[in-house]
Structure 1
């Protein structure tokens, strides 16, 4: 097969796609990773073939100017199941999300992506759940297409709710900003919007089933495999910790896109240092440069890959990002998520807490002493480690990307 990956133009989203792209390549299939030009280095650094399309987006400029947008109602897709929201509210959400989010990411690449797909003729397009340009390209060239999730499927859930609620709205009063935008962008290629185009023929989901929202869509389960980019197994990571090790990591996106982290990093580290534990702050240099002198049991480690660090940890304190959350999950590490409300972070945090494998805290409630108290609870109450172990086992029971390749071959052949 020829498989075209169409990621959202963000590095963390590209990283989510790499293990499946590797598996398809190793199985003898041709793989291209299409994305905005600035992501080419991230793709080629993973040993994959980049196909630059369109131009880079300018979304980060607005993100930095509007840091509070991560906690705005319109950014929170966690409470949009049937019974949680009305039709008018979903219309309003799409009316804002399409021009200020979806279009800003997709419009700069859609023309080139369609041209690439028509020229290269992939059999399958694997796209990010909100990389709708990939859906248009798949339809324009006749390929099968799947969504590969980097989140709980809140976008699929919201769309299902929207369609169900729309049935109670008179036909002449129905408004669908998402479909209108897809129709406008797709018209030049003979593509119009329908629910299959929005949801794909099937959805690749790496969450354990117990953490997923309800869905009627065709789901293909796949084990999450961490990929962090460049990784080194440092000497100190090969040594058995003499006491519990706690990782503190706040990801890249808030610093790179929103102008800084949402919590007091220095205060957190000083408060956590009073625990009977070793604290490893896995931070970017920009995050670590203002920390000053740190207590002796706190190590600021820039450039350490979470896939090498978290297996040695007894707990992790993080920002709620998908890669950190999932890497902790497959390594059975109890988690404390200090999140904003953007995308699925509230739903995923609440479901994690309900599972008993961690705790969820909105970043405005993340006073350093409270974070230290909750982290102490994760370390001292064995039920958290036990629940994290159950989620690890549930995840390990899912098919590997290698095993999923055969299922993808069957699904594409059936079309």
Structure 2
């Protein structure tokens, strides 16, 4: 069958799709990775077939000028139950997110993506939960359609709350910015908004079940398999560390898209300097430029793939990004997440704490003393490692991307 994969034009949204796209390819299906032109080289670098459409978004420059957005209420999707958010607050979230987030990402590619789908006629569309262009494309050619999550399903759960609260609101206050936008952009292709269009027939959820948000949406489990781009298993990683190894990584998105990190790598490394541990600082060259002289217990590395590093680590300190979080989960590594509140970072951090496998702190609370104290907790309390191992085992019991291919084949056949 023909399968179209569609994500937002960000590496962090594309990479979670690569293992399933390769599983589909290996099973003999015809796969195309449709995206904005800026991601073409990234896609071809995975060995998959890129299908560039439309134009590129210009959000990164705007993000650098508005770094505070990551902590504003409308960007925080972690508060999403009817007991946590009221109608004015959740309506304001959609009123801001549609014109300033969803539309700028999707509008440059919607028309060409839908036209490509009508021409190529894929049997299945696998899309990023925020790639509504992929949803319009699927409906425009009557393809089966699933979402592949890179987060907890905060968008699906929030939508349920939105509809429930809107039904209770006075008629004059009811509005639906997301549906209005979808209806406008889908009209040239005969597409109008409904809940199946927004969520697909199924949602592929890579979180272990105990960490998932409860929703009524049909979902399928699929084990997270990390893809980090180019990867080299360095010689120093082939031998067990002589001391407890702690990874520090702050990801790439904040540096590249938001103009810098929200916590200080230098302060974190300084806080850990007195400990008898090996700290591996997996940082971008731009991040390392600010460090100065490194403490004696720090190994600074550039370009190391986390799935080659984290199996040897006793703890990881990070910014909350999905790739780091999920790679630590499947390798049973206790986590210290120092995050903003954008998307689901707070919810995932809190759920990790509830599971006993990590500690969450908002970046505004971060001090060297906090980092030192929490790192020692992760290293000294065996409960964190035991909880992390339980989550790893739960993940390992989930179907692999290869297993999921047959399930998706059946979904398409039934349609």
Shorter-chain TM range is over 0.9
Select between 287-296 and 96-105 the one with higher mean Cα deviation. 287-296
Report deviation, 1:156: 0.2
Corresponding residue for residue 55 of structure 1 = 55
Aligned-partner Cα distance in 2 for 1:101–1:356:
33
SS at 2:64's partner residue? Answer: helix
Report deviation, 1:18: 0.3
Aligned-partner Cα distance in 2 for 1:173–1:220:
36
Report deviation, 1:46: 0.7
Structure 2 counterparts to residues 175-254 of structure 1, below 5 A: 175-254=175-254
Structure 2 residue 153 is the aligned partner of structure 1 residue 140: no
Residues 339-388 of structure 1, C-alpha deviations (whole Å, 9 max, x = no match)? 00000000000000000000000011111221011001100100000000
Aligned-partner Cα distance in 2 for 1:87–1:22:
42
Structure 2 counterparts to residues 260-279 of structure 1, below 5 A: 260-279=260-279
Corresponding residue for residue 79 of structure 2 = 79
Corresponding residue for residue 174 of structure 1 = 174
Aligned-partner Cα distance in 2 for 1:167–1:370:
44
Report deviation, 1:333: 0.2
Aligned-partner Cα distance in 2 for 1:332–1:338:
19
Aligned-partner Cα distance in 2 for 1:105–1:265:
30
Report deviation, 1:68: 0.7
Corresponding residue for residue 299 of structure 1 = 299
Structure 1 gap ranges (5+):
none
Corresponding residue for residue 120 of structure 1 = 120
Report deviation, 1:171: 4.8
Corresponding residue for residue 314 of structure 1 = 314
Select between 364-373 and 95-104 the one with higher mean Cα deviation. 364-373
CA RMSD of aligned residues (A): 0.9
| Partners of 1:310 and 1:327 within 8 A in 2 | yes
Corresponding residue for residue 27 of structure 1 = 27
SS at 2:77's partner residue? Answer: coil
Aligned-partner Cα distance in 2 for 1:290–1:93:
35
Report deviation, 1:264: 1.2
SS at 2:168's partner residue? Answer: coil
Corresponding residue for residue 378 of structure 1 = 378
Aligned-partner Cα distance in 1 for 2:172–2:369:
56
Aligned-partner Cα distance in 2 for 1:262–1:192:
40
Aligned-partner Cα distance in 2 for 1:304–1:368:
25
Aligned-partner Cα distance in 2 for 1:374–1:259:
27
Structure 2 gap ranges (5+):
none
Calculate the TM-score normalised by the size of structure 2. Answer: 0.99
Structure 2 residue 368 is the aligned partner of structure 1 residue 368: yes
Residues 62-108 of structure 1, C-alpha deviations (whole Å, 9 max, x = no match)? 11001111000000000111222122222211111000000000000
Aligned-partner Cα distance in 2 for 1:166–1:370:
41
SS at 1:61's partner residue? Answer: helix
Aligned-partner Cα distance in 1 for 2:124–2:144:
5
Report deviation, 1:172: 5.7
Structure 2 residue 92 is the aligned partner of structure 1 residue 92: yes
Residues 230-281 of structure 1, C-alpha deviations (whole Å, 9 max, x = no match)? 0000000001101100000000000000000111111111111211210000
SS at 1:31's partner residue? Answer: strand
Report deviation, 1:173: 4.5
Report deviation, 1:320: 0.2
Structure 2 residue 299 is the aligned partner of structure 1 residue 288: no
Report deviation, 1:186: 0.5
Residues 11-56 of structure 1, C-alpha deviations (whole Å, 9 max, x = no match)? 1111010000010000011100011111111111111000001111
- Matched residue count: 415
Report deviation, 1:290: 2.3
